[in-house]
Amino acid sequence: MSGPKLNEAPVRVSGRRRVRVATETTSFRAKGRYLRVSAYKVREVLDLIRGLDAERARDTLRLAERDAATVVDKVLASAIANAEHHHEHPVDGEELYVSACYADEGPTLKRWRPRARGRATRIRKRTCHVTVIVSRLPDEELRERRARQPGAGDRRRRTAASKRAARKQAAPTETDEIVAHEDIPVAEAAEAIKGVADQPVEGVEVAPATGDETEAEAAVPEGEPEVQAEPAAAEDKEENE
């Protein structure tokens, strides 16, 4: 009987290197058997996610350009589902990491291809068995993660501030409230709008309306000479001559 596999030891990514985990936690596994891909190609993908968090590992597999990443992603998703729906010790998917993953060679399918002079060449179609093991993060690291996350009070304050800003931006002006009100008669609404328009604006002086039909003359500040415009009729007469 063969002994335990050496690549099943839990490994965790620390910075830029992988280190062995001293304290073992609850682990869950999933295995894909007789996958129609060579073990060599799968191992190249497994080296990318070994020791990473479960969510980060799935993101890495989605962005990987190798076709074997699709197969490994399905096995990893199955392992996470096994952990979340375990009947005795269910674990949240955010608390998991890929502690071990490896690929074993499966049976090879032999096929033949005809060649010149009546010869034949063997074609080997490789298969493999992929195993992914996910484990729960150590308690110390989980406490550090929860401490770095914002508390419920901070979230409530940010939510309340965003709601106040949205209400302030969507608040209608005084004129809009007068126009949008359907119960006010037209005459009263017009007087109310006129009253709002006659209100003084800071930094601007508006001359009161006199009701005269004659053209209003612009007031010239004291100390500046008055500029008189030449009549337009005289200019037209000179052009005609």
**6-141 topology per CATH:** Ribosomal Protein L22; Chain A (3.90.470)
In the chain, list all ranges with CATH 3.90.470.10.
6-141
pLDDT (average), residues 229-234 = 54
Span 213-225, pLDDT tens digits:
444 454 455 555 5
Mean pLDDT of the chain: 76
Span 13-32, pLDDT tens digits:
766 666 666 666 788 999 99
Q: What is the 3-state secondary structure (H, E, C) of the chain?
A: CCCCCHHHCCEEEECCEEEECCCCCCEEEEEEEEECCCHHHHHHHHHHHCCCEHHHHHHHHHHCCCCHHHHHHHHHHHHHHHHHCCCCCCCCHHHEEEEEEEEEECCCEEEEEECHHHCEEEEEECCEEEEEEEEECCHHHHHHHHHHCCCHHHHHHHHHHHHHHHHHHHCCCHHHHHHHCCCCCHHHHHHHHHHHHCCCCCCCCCCCCCCCCCCCCCCCCCCCCCCCCCCHHHHHHHHHC
Question: Which pLDDT does position 226 carry in this prediction?
Answer: 56
Question: Which pLDDT does position 130 carry in this prediction?
Answer: 95
Identify which of 13-27, 135-149, 191-205, 214-228 has the greatest average pLDDT.
Answer: 135-149
Alpha-carbon torsion (196, 202, 203, 208), positive or negative: positive
Question: Which pLDDT does position 30 carry in this prediction?
Answer: 94
Q: Give yes or no for residue 49 having a pLDDT over 70.
A: yes
Span 91-132, pLDDT tens digits:
888 889 999 999 999 999 999 999 999 999 999 999 999 999
